[in-house]
Amino acid sequence: MKFIIAFQLALRSLRLNIVRTSLTVLGVVIGAASIVIVFSASQALNSIIQNELNSYGGDIVQTEVKVPSKKTSLSTSGVTTLKDGDLLEINKIKNINESYAASIGQQKVSYGSEGKMTMIFGVSPSYIRIDKKSTIASGRFFENDENESESTVIVLGSKLKETIFGDQEAIGKMVKVGNSNYRVVGVMTEQGSSGGFLDFDNMAYLPVKTLHKRILGIDHYMYFIHQIKDESQSYATAEEIRAILRDRHEIIDLEKEDFRVSTMDEIIKTLSVVTDAVTYLLLAIVLLSLLVGGVGIMNIMYVTVTERTPEIGLRKALGATRGDITWQFLIESVLITFWGWFLGVVIGIIGSYLLIVLGNSLGLKIFFAFPWRGIIVSFIFSIACGLLFGFQPAKRAAKLDPVEALRTE
C-alpha cells in the first residue's frame, strides 16, 4: 500500500511538471534512442553479411594468404606462396569438386573517350561455375585455354559496361586496360550492391594469369575458392587443405603459417564477432549520454526536494517514515528516466526504420527487424540510471527534520 501511495505521489508530481520533466530527460532520450539505433544497425549489418555470404552457398572453403603471427617485416601482399602447384594438389582431395584461383588489381578501363579506374578481378575460368551469384548476361566467360595462354580477353561488370559503352553493344569491341587492348567477350548480369563489399558490377574480369603477367607482374595468387561435394565434411576438408599446404610450404611451427583456410561457417562467425565488437564499442560511447542525462536528473531531483521541503515535513509529521520519503523520490526519479526511455525508444525505432529505408534506396537488400535487444538494454540502463542518480536526492529528502521542513517557506 505504501509503495502504491509513493507511486501515485510521484506520478502526480511529474504530471504537474511535464514540460520540465521532458526537458530534464533529454539526455536519457538521446541515450535510449542511440542504443536502439546502434542495435538495429548492427542487426541490419549482420543481415547484409549473412545474406551476402549465404548467397555463395555452404559448399565453399576459402584459402587465402596470411601474414605469419610471429613478428615479421612481411606485409600481406608480400606473402607469395600460393602457387599453381598448391592448387593442383588441393584439387586432388576427394571432397573437392573444383577450385578457382583469384587475384585483384586496379587499372583504368576505357573505350574511346569514356573510361573509369576500376578493380580488375583476375580469376580462373571455373569461377563462373562455382560462384552462384555470377552469371553471364551476354557473350561468354573466358575459357581455360585463354587463361593458360594469357589471352587479352575481358568480361565487363554490368555497370562498367554501361559506363564505357552506354547502350552500345560491347561484345567483340576492343577496350583499353591501361595501355593494352583487350577484346570484350562477355558482360555479367547485374548483382546489385553487396553492402560495402567489393562492387562486382563495376569490376572488369580477366583471366587470372593474364592479370598476373600483363598487369601485376606476379606469379602467385591472393586466394583460392574450393567447391566441395559434401558440406558436412567441410571442416575435415579444410584440415586436409591445411595439411597439404603445411607440407608444401615446409611449415612445422603453426605460428609461421602463411595461409588461412576457412569454411563458410567460420567466415560468418568471424565477421559476426567483428560486428558485435563494433556494436559494443558504440554502445559504450552511447552510454556516456545516459550518464550525462543521469546527472541532469540528479540536479532536478535536488531542486524538487528543495521545492517540496514543506510537503516532506508535513508527511513526516503525519507519520511518514524515512523509507516512505526515500521511496517516493526514488520512484519519481525512476519514472523520469522511464519517461525518457519511452520517448527515446519511439524516436529510436523511427530512426532505425528510416535508416533501413535509406539503405534500401541505396540498393542494399535489408529488412527492418524490431530491435528488441536495443529496447531491453536501453530499458535496463535507463532504470539503473534513475536509481543511481536518484538515490542521493531521495536520501537527502528522507533525512530532513520535519519541524525545520515545516518552517521552510
- pLDDT tops 90 at residue 14: no
The closest of 204, 245, 290 to 93, measured between CA atoms, is 245
The tens digit of pLDDT for each residue in 105-158 reads: 999 999 988 888 999 999 999 999 998 888 999 999 999 999 999 999 999 999
- Per-residue pLDDT at 184: 96
The tens digit of pLDDT for each residue in 29-69 reads: 888 888 888 888 888 777 777 776 666 667 889 999 887 76
Band of the pLDDT at 305, cuts 50, 70, 90? confident
DSSP string, 297-311: HHHHHHHHHHHTHHH
User: How far is the C-alpha of 211 from the C-alpha of 34, rounded, in Å?
Assistant: 46
Select the more confidently predicted residue: 140 or 294.
140
- pLDDT tops 90 at residue 362: no
Cell of 24: 530534464
- Per-residue pLDDT at 270: 79
Q: Is 261 in contact with 242 (CB distance < 8 Å)?
A: yes
Cell of 164: 564505357
- Per-residue pLDDT at 395: 81
* Percent of the chain clearing pLDDT 70 (strictly above): 87
- Per-residue pLDDT at 215: 93
- Which range, 15-19, 59-63, 332-336, is most confident? 59-63
- pTM given for the model: 0.67
- pLDDT tops 90 at residue 301: no
Backbone phi, then psi, for 187, in 5-degree steps?
-130, 135
On average, the pLDDT of the chain sits at 83
